[in-house]
Amino acid sequence: MKRYFLFFILLLLFGCQPRVSDQQITVCSFNIKFVGLYKKKDNEALARLVGKYDLVVVQELVAPPDNGQYCDGTSYREDPEADAFFDAMSAQGFEFSLSCEDTGRGENIHNRGSSTEWSAVFYKPEKLTIANDLPNGFLAEDRSAHPVYPRVPHAHSFRTIDGKMDFVVINVHLSPGKNKKKERKTELLSIARWINLNDAQEQDFYIVGDMNIENAAELKAATPRGFISLNDECRKTNTAVKSSKPYDHVMYRPAKFDEIDEKFDFQVINLIDQMRDTWRGSETYPGDPYNGNLFAQHYSDHHPVLFRLNIPSQDDD
C-alpha cells in the first residue's frame, strides 16, 4: 500500500509537469573529422551518440550527402561516405540544413576533398523548423581563398514549432595552428561585425564550432567586445590525451536577450569513453591505448560539446 501511495505522490509531483526537454533546445556541436572521406567512420555509433539532442552543428563535412546544385547552379553528385552518415542521422529522426557549396582556403572549391568543407546542421523536425526569413547563408560572397576566412562561416536560422523562439547559429571552423592567433581574432571580429549589421530583425545569434583557440589568454584577446564564450573555463575539447586544447566554443551576446541555460553551462562529452562499448573491430580499440590517427578515422579527433537554450513564453525579439 505504501508503494502505491508513494507512486501516487510522485505522479502528482512530476507526472503533470512539462518535461525539461519540452522547455529547452539541446544543442550539440561536433567536429566529426572528415565526414565524406573516411571509409571506416562508425556512422551509426556517432549518430546514436548525438541522437538525443535537438540540434547538432557539424564541422568537417568534406563532401555532399545528396545530389544537388552548387550556388552557381552547376550540379554535384552525392558522396557515399557522406551519404552514409546522413542516413544514420536520419535514422535518429534528424532533418538537416546544408550550405549550397563547400568553402576552403584555396581558389579550387567544389573539389570533394578534405581541403574544403560544407556547413551542416541537423535538427529534430518535431521541435524546430528552418527559418529562412531570418539572416542565413554564408557570411561572405566569395567562398574560395577569402582574405579573412579560411572557411567562410555559414549562418543557419531556426524557429521552434510553437513559434516562441527563433535564433541564428553561425557554424565556424577557424584557422588552425599555434601561429594563427591574429587570424582567428580577425575572423571573430569579422563575424561580430556581420552580426551587428544583421540584427535588426533578430537578436539571438550564437557563434558555434571549432575555433582552434589554444588557451585562456588567447580566448580573452580574441573574443569580440560584447560577446562572451560559454567555454570561458577553457575546457579541453579535442581527443588528444596529452595535448588537448580548448578548441571548441559557443560565443554569444549576453546583453541581447539570450536564452542560454547558464546553469547547464558548457559540457564536453568524452568521445573515447562513449565509443568504447561500440567497438566491434578485430584489432584493439583505438582508445585503449589512444591511437589518434585510427580513432579519428573511426570516430573523430574532437569531443562533442553541449549547451542548452531555454524556450521563453514568447519570442523576445
CATH of the domain at 92: 3.60.10.10
Q: Do residues 135 and 198 touch, judged by C-beta distance below 8 A?
A: yes
Residue 169 in domain: yes
User: What amino acid is encoded at 146 in this protein?
Assistant: H
Query: Whole-model pTM above 0.85?
Result: yes
Residue 56 in domain: yes
The torsion angles phi and psi of 58, rounded to 5 degrees, stand at -110, 135
**The pLDDT value given to residue 20:** 47
Comparison of pLDDT for 2 and 317, the residue scoring more = 317
Residue 1 in domain: no
**Tally of domains in the chain:** 1
Within a 10 A sphere around the Cβ of 179, how many other Cβ atoms?
8
Residue 14 has pLDDT above 70, yes or no: no
Residue 95 has pLDDT above 80, yes or no: yes
**The pLDDT value given to residue 258:** 72
For 28-82, how does the pLDDT look when each residue is reduced to its tens digit (9 = 90+)? 999 999 999 999 999 999 999 999 999 999 999 999 999 999 999 999 999 999 9
Burial class for 304, CB neighbours closer than 10 Å (0-12, 13-18, 19+): buried
**The pLDDT value given to residue 186:** 98
Residue 3 has pLDDT above 60, yes or no: no
Q: Which set of grid coordinates corresponds to residue 250?
A: 559557443
The arithmetic mean of pLDDT across residues 186-201, rounded, is 97
Q: Which domain holds residue 35?
A: 20-310
Residue 128 in domain: yes
Q: Do residues 156 and 122 touch, judged by C-beta distance below 8 A?
A: no
**Residues facing 154 on adjacent strands:** 138, 171
**The pLDDT value given to residue 21:** 60
**The pLDDT value given to residue 257:** 66
For 240-279, how does the pLDDT look when each residue is reduced to its tens digit (9 = 90+)? 998 999 999 999 999 876 799 999 999 999 999 999 999 9
Residue 91: in which H helix or E strand, if any?
Answer: helix 80-91
For 99-121, how does the pLDDT look when each residue is reduced to its tens digit (9 = 90+)? 999 999 999 999 889 999 999 99
Residue 175 in domain: yes
Q: Estimate to the nearest angstrom the gap between the alpha carbon of 231 and the chain centroid.
A: 14
Residue 11 has pLDDT above 90, yes or no: no
Q: Do residues 86 and 65 touch, judged by C-beta distance below 8 A?
A: yes
Residue 33 in domain: yes
pLDDT band at 19 (very low <50, low <70, confident <90, very high): very low
Whole-number Å distance between alpha carbons of 213 and 17: 41
Residue 229 in domain: yes
Residue 8 in domain: no
